[in-house]
Amino acid sequence: MFTFCIFKWVRITNCIIMIICCICQRCLDHKMLDMHNNIQTCFVYTSGAFSFSLSPIIPVAAHAHWERFNTWRAGCTTKYVKVGEQQFAYMERGRPSKDQPSLLLIHGFADRKESYCDMIMHLPKHLHLIAVDLPGHGDTGIKAKADLTVEAYAAKLHQFVSAVGLDSDPLHVVGHSMGGGLAGCYAAFYPEAVSLLTMSGPGGVKSPVQSLMFEKVAQGYKQVMVPETVEQAVEMFNICLYNKSLIPPKQLVKGFLDCYMLPRLSFLKELFDAILEQQDGLTPYLGKISAPTQLMWGRHEQVLHITCVDVIQREMTAPLQVDIIEDSGHTIPAESPEKAAKLMLGFRDKFVNKQNKS
């Protein structure tokens, strides 16, 4: 009887959440909601209201449906590919073109491919793009005792690029946070595979000034980025986000924990320790990057201090464009998706058009 009741509530919950999705999309179609902030707020707070009144299962269902809805409205298709013995999950939109380099989007620590959906919606539909779930993230698994160094992740990423057939022409590689550091290392290790590089608040560069996040880690508080409770997760969001209106209600924060953090907690702790050990992992390779590079940084960054920009400018020899986003913290793809997309397209057009003319 209990199992039947739970099943019934889950079915009802799924219907409610799908109705919310349809309402949000209808509002979007009629320009009643802003593309990013308002539609997300509408979904999150309406789902949250149902979450409080129905059952603790609902936040998990809400997160799952929100990811699917995000993928759909970004015009992407979720796909899977075998890389050796490992299955990678990724999203794809469009088809490769000889005139325009394909985009490879790499998410940050403890994140997933769908984190780029809001930014993707501001990119022209003729551009071919792929957003990948890194090993141990999203729907891509990872073996126990795997090598967690940036060198090993770059090698796996290169195998993925070959597996999806994108190794014939150089790519525009885009990475955020840990993914930004990985993107930079990938460009240094495989220069023939990268025509353009965009790094958004990349990890792997030790700043002259310690950030708030690193201050907390120095005090022994690693849960700042690997939360185990709702309160710790809210604190993490507060550090990562400048726009506090994007922090979801606590019931959905619980769903975030149950969906993304707690099932892989031991792995994320291990990976975070590896990141701390390679805190300066990108810096030695900056001078080896040959592709024209764009660097984006949030003015109100509290995870990776903005003085990292000075280090990167000093170490890089490739053409470098620096864009400081005034109304953003660490999580640029979520906080400033339209602005980030516009800046990236401007950078891209400057070099792609030049290459096409020559």
Give the 3-state secondary structure of the chain.
CHHHHHHHHHHHHHHHHHHHHHHHHHHHHCCCCCCCHHHHHHHHHHHHHHHHHCCCCHHHHHHHHHHHHHHHHCCCEEEEEEECCEEEEEEEECCCCCCCCCEEEECCCCCCHHHHHHHHCCCCCCCCEEEECCCCCCCCCCCCCCCCCHHHHHHHHHHHHHHCCCCCCCEEEEEECHHHHHHHHHHHHCHHHEEEEEEECCCCCCCCCCCHHHHHHHCCCHHHCCCCCHHHHHHHHHHHCCCHHHCCCHHHHHHHHHHHHHHHHHHHHHHHHHHHHCCCCCHHHHHHCCCCEEEEEECCCCCCCCCHHHHHHHHCCCCEEEEEECCCCCCHHHHCHHHHHHHHHHHHHHHHHHHHHC
Give mean pLDDT in consecutive 10-residue pieces for the chain, a chain of 358 residues. 36 49 50 45 44 48 76 96 96 96 98 97 98 98 95 98 97 99 99 99 98 98 97 98 94 90 97 97 99 99 98 98 98 98 98 68
The pLDDT value recorded for residue 66 is 76
Q: Are 156 and 83 in contact (CB under 8 A)?
A: yes
Instruction: Say if CB 170 and CB 93 are below 8 A apart.
Output: no
pLDDT number for residue 73: 93
pLDDT of residue 33: 41
pLDDT at position 194 is 99
Handedness of CA 73, 345, 238, 140 (dihedral sign): positive
Tell me the two tokens of residue 36: 């990013």
Q: Which pTM value belongs to this model? A: 0.86
pLDDT at 65: 73
